Structure 1
Amino acid sequence: MGQSQSVTVLYVDHGEGLGGAEHSLLILMRHLECGRFQAILACEKGPLAQAARSLALEVCEVNFPRLRGHPLALLRLWQSGWALASLAHQRRAAILHSNTMRASFSTALAARIGGRPMIWHARDLYGRGHIGGRWYPWLMSRLAHTIIANSHAVARTIPRADVRVIHNGIEVERFHPQLAPRVARAQLGLPETSVLVGTVGRMQPWKGHHVFLQAAYHVAEKLPDVHFLIVGGRVFEADANYEQQLRHMAHKLGIAQRVHFAGHQAEVAPWLAAMDVFVHCSAAEPFGLVVVEAMAAARPVVAFADGGVPEIVLNGETGMLVSPGDVLHMAEAIVTLAVDQALAQRMGGAGRKRAEVVFSATRYVRQIEDLYDEILSRAAYEGHPRRAYRR
């Protein structure tokens, strides 16, 4: 397909923060086959818009309404839907691809107004304490033309049989196992010989950093020379006190001198390279992009066997999975890998190979491109009123 036949895809994300969903979206937009697809991002002014522009991606800033408890919620939803429909019409978008819950209602409305197919990219475990409960996936199952889930665990929470599971991918080459750990360790004041057990994630309670400290306490009882690292900063104002609570907890457990807080890091690869064992403590994780990144860095993973994580980590091969909430067995797994370096290296190497084969950006993007082609072919066959806009 030549440049004159490229298909425009309008991606929609409310862009309040820059988490795994947004990083996954940026990877998708960057790696779309040039000449076949043109990517445009509709999002609010904020971190996502800034990150997209820094990658030379086209951004159109729009506003998305907060629907909960606002007396004019429906009016605002109608306005944002028409604004997106107008943008899609102006840019001759063939497909609307919604990346977040807050943006999906406006996207669905815009798709109905303009007669365009809409993809809902589901990235949460709905119904497990989720803000949308079970009504949100029920409603979106009826509004979306096509649904992508980033894991089978997520797909099981959606009441529709034809959900397409496409695992997120990463730029594996950025997490080369040979990255020197010296820089990160030097910032922590740690020698290269010290065993470092770490975790990476936003400063939010559901990410389980407090669980990591509980496990660290039990590990420290058995291995007095091990240090612990938490990489991540807060995204939302509501989580402003969480880091302080963690620091207080470390003092209370008597391990404060061995727990290091690195804060937000734009590039996590050097910090993963500095770790000997990677630990992921969040429960009900929809996917776990950072788990894939740790595997790409050839680090053995210890995590809970919950959510989408068992689809990433092969227990006993690329890491160790324990029952959700079982801190003692998590600590035992960490001790095993910290002591048995040969086992840790073997699991790390297997994880790297799995990341290259199963979770590469190329594989991820090609699967979505194939889905776009399928949608457009179906639209053309069905005589879709706005079918297959090509430039």
Structure 2
Amino acid sequence: MGTSQPVTILYTDHGEGLGGAENSLLILMRHLDRSRFRPVLACERGPLAQTARALGLEVYETNFPRLRGHPLALPRLWWSGWALASLARRHHAAILHSNTMRASLGTTLASRLAGCPMIWHGHDLYGPGRIGGRWYPRLMSRLAHTIIANSHAVARTIPRPDVHVIHNGIEVEHFHPQLSPSAARAQLGLPETGVLIGTVGRMQPWKGHHIFLQVARRVRDLLPDAHFLIVGGQVFAADADYAERLRHLAHELGIAQRVRFVGHQADVAPWLAAMDVFVQCSEAEPFGLVIVEAMAAARPVVAFADGGVPEIVLDGETGMLVAPGDVSHMAEAVAKLAVDRDLAQRMGRAGRERVETNFSATRYVRQIEELYEEILARRGP
């Protein structure tokens, strides 16, 4: 890059909760080559800021206001952009890298004011009836210097031909296939040998925990002794009653005694180790970071063949994919893997190998670093 000093990358994320986008950003910042790049994070006060500081990262708290329906939307946007531009100039940022929709509009303005290129990192499926509707991806396609999508499925919803698809990565070594299931199962009051089917995801309706319970009801008919586990907590205030609705549904389905809710867990590895089969019931999942984690833990995956999931799970090799919304076939696939332990282990091993090859943090970070180098080379000294 023609300089002995590391280049500053200013990351922006409104950080309302710790979802897949935020966890991927933390991995990126933590694993950047510090001899070449210096990460600086601008986010709102909250769990992202707290976690980043605990990791020793440089964090500045700023405001990314909600704009929809607010009478002062434009002045608030201008103020957000001006504050970010001031931060970028103060730290001599070479690139602005925006990680969420709410942060991206102010970041776009800041990139103009500060005179440095902006990357928009898309983590959602966009379009009619979805986040941002049609207007947001069209706007960002015009304004962003460079666009990254975390899956080909996301890239297809962005009306621009030069989107860079970079799959998220995880710290594979954290998910040991030989990790004992004993601790988590003991905490649940379950024997080590019983069948445990589980899912992981924050408490939001689109994550499909209610569908998981419907699948569980059908699996119980096939495997009366099976137990079920839901790992995940509330992130957004709008979803405050979802967990209670799920508990009520479990009672209605007659499986309440078989389902365990353990809320948010900072470390999901022990819980994945306790599962025999991992199930993902998200509706139109953009990527599916927790699926990668389950595969790294050598757990066979059953999921809907929708969104970015088929880019991760190889049907019949690392798990089983079923048509979106097909609860009956999903239950049959889960039961098959729960009973056929040899098949489950083969798929688990294949999943682990696939993650090591395609979804490691090292691969993910190096691809983004190479993109930074390309942008800086085009920009010149």
TM over 0.5: yes
1:301 aligns with 2:301: yes
Equivalent positions of 1:52-131 (< 5 A) are: 52-131=52-131
Equivalent positions of 1:65-214 (< 5 A) are 65-214=65-214
- Map of 2:314 onto structure 1: 314
What is the DSSP-based 3-state SS (H/G/I as helix, E as strand, rest coil) of the residue aligned with 1:10?
strand
Gapped runs of 5+ residues in structure 2?
none
Aligned ranges for residues 231-380 of structure 1 at < 5 Å? 231-380=231-380
Deviation larger for 96-105 or 122-131: 122-131
Q: What is aligned with 1:383?
A: none
**Conservation of the 8 A alpha-carbon contact between 1:2 and 1:35:** no
CA distance in 2: counterparts of 1:208 and 1:127, whole angstroms: 20
Distance 1:216 1:148 in 2: 36
Please say if residues 15 and 48 of structure 1, whose CA atoms lie closer than 8 Å, have aligned partners that are also in contact.
yes
Deviations 1:285-340 (A, max 9, x none): 00000000000000000000000000000000000000000000000000100010
1:235-287 deviation digits (Å, cap 9, x = unpaired): 11211111111111111111111111111100000000000000000011000
Q: Distance in 1 between matches of 2:2 and 2:296?
A: 34
CA contact (8 A) 2:12 2:96 kept: yes
Distance 2:237 2:9 in 1: 32
Q: Normalising by the residue count of structure 1, what TM-score does the alignment of the two structures yield?
A: 0.96
Deviations 1:8-55 (A, max 9, x none): 000000111111000000000000012110000000111100000010
Question: What is the aligned partner in structure 2 of residue 216 from structure 1?
Answer: 216
- Percent identity for Structure 1 against Structure 2: 78
Residues 214-255 of structure 1 show CA distances to partners (whole Å, capped at 9, x for unaligned) of: 000000001011100000010112111111111111111111
Deviations 1:118-162 (A, max 9, x none): 000001000152231011000000000000000000000000000
Give the match's secondary structure for 1:199. Answer: strand
Relative contact order, higher structure (CA 8 A, sep 6+)? 1
Give the C-alpha shift of residue 71 in structure 1: 0.7
| Cα deviation digits, residues 192-222 of structure 1 (max 9, x gap) | 0101000000011000000000000000001
Alpha carbons 1:2, 1:36 under 8 Å: kept: no
Gaps of 5+ in 1: 381-386
**Aligned structure 1 segments of 4 or more residues deviating by more than 6 angstroms:** none
Q: How many residues align?
A: 381
CA distance in 1, matches of 2:243, 2:13: 27
Judged with a 3 Å threshold, the aligned counterparts in structure 2 of structure 1 residues 98 and 318 are, in CA distance, closer, same or farther, namely: same
Partner of 2:371, secondary structure, is: helix
Q: Secondary structure at the match of 1:225?
A: coil
Residue 3 of structure 1, CA deviation: 8.2
SS, match of residue 119 in structure 2: strand
**Partner Cα separation in structure 1 for residue 213 and residue 295 of structure 2:** 22
Q: Residues 149 and 165 of structure 1 are in contact (CA less than 8 Å); yes or no, is this contact kept in structure 2?
A: yes
- Secondary structure of residue in 2 paired with 1:66: coil
* TM-score relative to the length of structure 2: 0.99
**2:124–2:131 contact (8 Å) kept in structure 1:** no
What is the match of residue 43 of structure 1? 43
Moved more, 128-137 or 206-215: 128-137
Cα distance between partner residues in 1 of 2:262 and 2:343: 27
Partners of 2:64 and 2:219 lie apart in 1 by 45
- Aligned partners of 1:76, 1:104: CA distance in 2, in Å? 14
* Contact 2:125/2:131, CA 8 A, preserved across alignment: no
Post-superposition CA distance 1:81-119 (Å, at most 9, x none): 011011000000000000000000000000011110000
Amino acid aligned to 1:113:
L
1:65 deviation in Å? 1.4
Residue identity in the other structure for 2:195: V
C-alpha contact 2:21 2:123 (8 A) present in aligned 1:
yes
Work out whether residues 11 and 42 of structure 1, in 8 Å CA contact, stay in contact via their aligned partners in 2: yes
Give the 3-state SS of the residue equivalent to 2:262 in structure 1: strand
Corresponding residue number in structure 1 for 2:21: 21
Matched AA of 2:264: H
What's the CA shift string for 1:137-191, capped at 9, x where partnerless? 0000000000000000000000000000000000000001111111100010000
Q: C-alpha separation between the residues in 2 aligned to 1:139 and 1:359?
A: 30
Aligned residue type for 1:215 = V
Measure how far apart 1:5 and its partner are.
2.5
**Measured at CA, do residues 3 and 187 of structure 1 come closer, stay the same or move farther in structure 2, by a change above 3 Å?**
farther
